Amino acid sequence: MTRGHCWFRAVILAGLLLVSAPALAAEAGREATPSGMLLYKTLTYQALSTLGAYAYGDLFAGGAAVGGLLAVASTGTEPLLYYVHEWAWSKAAPHLTDRPGELVPVKTTTYAVLDAARSFAIGLAVTGSATLAGGFLAFHVVTDAASYVVNDLGWLYFMPQDRAGASGARTVASN
């Protein structure tokens, strides 16, 4: 199989995940609200993020095998880091302020720093090169931001229309 065929299949798979997950969740009787769709939204984001990790390895760090290792390592560590980070903040936040919204910038910054360290460490472990690890870190920051935006907009657009009224998402996407 050629590299072009692999990319085509990966893009098709990510697109199918993005399009089908909201409908599958709605059929399963789950609410189409941000809290009810969190698992599905997390899975589609992780699929896009993993595709970015694979792309860096495949295009810049030595080929499909390196891309696969970066993708597997990212998929195995990124959700764990996110969960532990959120858990730690859930324990600390009540002692810091009575308005959790005030902590969003600090939480975002601490997660970004920890995720950057995780990305660099994975890049270094997989490639053995600090230069390639730094490249992976920079590529990861850009592709994760793009994945986040695409995922969020995709969910706004593809959220089932009959259930979107509760969250207001469909009205935003249709304007």
Domain that holds residue 51: 3-174
| Count of domains observed in the chain | 1
Q: What is the pLDDT along the chain (175 residues), one digit of tens a residue?
A: 555 555 555 555 555 555 555 555 555 554 444 455 667 777 888 888 899 899 988 988 888 999 999 999 988 898 888 888 878 887 787 777 677 667 778 887 888 889 899 999 999 999 999 999 999 999 988 888 888 788 778 877 776 554 444 444 444 444 4
What pLDDT is recorded for position 28?
A: 52
Number of neighbours of residue 18 by Cβ within 10 angstroms: 23
pTM for this structure?
0.63
CA pair distance 76, 92, nearest whole angstrom: 25
